[in-house]
Amino acid sequence: MPTQVFEMTDMKTKAQEVLYAYMDVEKDLSEPKILIHTLKELINQLQVSPGIIKCPDIIELCEELKKL
């Protein structure tokens, strides 16, 4: 059971860091659902099989997004 608590806390910390990164760029968090929707679409686009996403693919996609 302690492992689950740690994992949940760790995921909460990760979620906060993602949110803070978003806020650093957007300076406005009036629509957090946009971020959530974007993250879900990122997973849908990069998922090579259920639950598997390759880190290099995420980096490559981020680089392409920066070019847009």
User: Could you report the per-residue pLDDT of 43-65, keeping only the tens digit for each?
Assistant: 888 888 888 999 998 888 888 88
User: Could you report the per-residue pLDDT of 23-42, keeping only the tens digit for each?
Assistant: 777 666 667 777 788 888 88
d(CA 47, CA 31): 25
Look up the domain containing 16 and give its range: 2-67
Burial 45-62 (b: 16+ CB within 10 A, else e): eeeeeeeeeeeeeeeeee
DSSP string, 1-65: -HHHHHHHHHHHHHHHHHHHHHHHHHS--S-HHHHHHHHHHHHHHHEEETTEE-HHHHHHHHHHH
pTM over 0.85: no
Number of structural domains (the chain) is 1
pLDDT of 1 higher than 70: no
Q: What average pLDDT does the segment 9-25 reach?
A: 76
